[in-house]
């Protein structure tokens, strides 16, 4: 992902968000996009950011605090369609500079090993297998919902299912990452259940993937 991509996301947030809006950042990682969204909605708006992995969540909170973002609420939970469920997954190695990206928290499990790079030599710790607690968007009973950013490592469809009542009540704009194996299923679901109404009552749904960004 290059600088042009970040500029595109920032322009998207500025176009779809306005002061007073309430937005959800599903898969917030260390808060890069959370900060962009928080600036777009201003002090009268709210950003609710979800990051289930422990160390990444701590960095998210640190960045929110350092930026002085009083309009951001953070949750160490995974947005899905199974409220209260618990699953296990491997999170980012905080000591590995190559893992510190603002868009990805999930990593491939690995053993401890020595790494050599521009930053010197360091011991990469084994991946931490974490227990993640799930929560649904609907369970939050939000007073409004103007925008959803969903980048939750293959759980995008589950996030939408868990927030379907809220989505159909408020018709937010949705920015959702779709990986190749999800494309057909999620696209079909969006078209059948949401797109007709959303196009009529909300600016647009952006669907992002590894091959670019397009509007549904």
How many other C-beta atoms lie within 10 A of the C-beta of residue 42?
13
d(CA 85, CA 83): 6
pLDDT tens across 26-43, in order? 999 999 999 999 999 999
Summarised one tens digit per residue, pLDDT across range 111-148 is 555 656 555 665 555 566 788 999 999 999 999 999 99
Q: How many whole angstroms from its chain centre is CA 9?
A: 13
**Phi-psi region at 124: left, alpha or beta (left = phi > 0; alpha = psi -120 to 50):** beta
Q: Return the closest-CA partner of residue 176 out of 144, 138, 148, 134.
A: 148
Q: Is the pLDDT reported for residue 216 higher than 50?
A: no
User: pTM (2 decimals)?
Assistant: 0.77
**Closest C-alpha to 52, from 33, 80, 20:** 80
Q: How far apart are CA 154 and CA 157, in angstroms?
A: 8
Tell whether the model's pLDDT for residue 212 goes beyond 60.
no
pLDDT of residue 140: 96
For residues 52-71, average pLDDT:
94
Q: Find the angle CA(117)-CA(108)-CA(209) to the nearest 5 degrees.
A: 95
| pLDDT number for residue 201 | 43
Domain that holds residue 124: 3-215
CATH, residue 15? 3.40.50.150
Q: Are 153 and 135 in contact (CB under 8 A)?
A: no
DSSP 3-state of 208? strand
Q: What total of structural domains would you count in the chain?
A: 1
The model's confidence at residue 165, banded by pLDDT at 50, 70 and 90, is: very high
């Amino acid at each position: 992902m290059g600088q042009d991509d970040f500029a595109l996301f920032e322009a998207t947030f500025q176009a779809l968000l306005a002061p007073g809006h309430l937005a959800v950042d599903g898969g917030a990682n260390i808060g890069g996009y959370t900060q962009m969204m928080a600036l777009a909605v201003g002090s009268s708006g709210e950003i609710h950011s979800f990051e289930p992995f422990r160390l990444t969540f701590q960095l998210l909170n640190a960045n929110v605090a350092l930026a002085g973002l009083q309009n951001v609420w953070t949750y160490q939970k995974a947005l899905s369609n199974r409220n209260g469920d618990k699953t296990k997954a491997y999170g980012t190695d905080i000591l590995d500079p190559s893992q510190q990206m603002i868009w990805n928290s999930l990593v491939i499990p690995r053993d401890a090993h020595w790494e050599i790079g521009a930053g010197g030599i360091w011991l990469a710790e084994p991946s931490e297998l974490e227990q993640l607690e799930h929560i649904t968007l609907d369970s939050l009973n939000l007073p409004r919902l103007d925008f959803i950013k969903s980048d939750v490592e293959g759980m995008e469809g589950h996030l939408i299912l868990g927030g379907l009542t809220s989505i159909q009540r408020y018709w937010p704009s949705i920015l959702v990452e779709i990986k190749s194996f999800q494309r057909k299923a999620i696209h079909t679901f969006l078209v059948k259940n949401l797109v007709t109404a959303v196009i009529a009552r909300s600016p647009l749904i952006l669907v992002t993937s590894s091959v670019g960004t397009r509007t549904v």
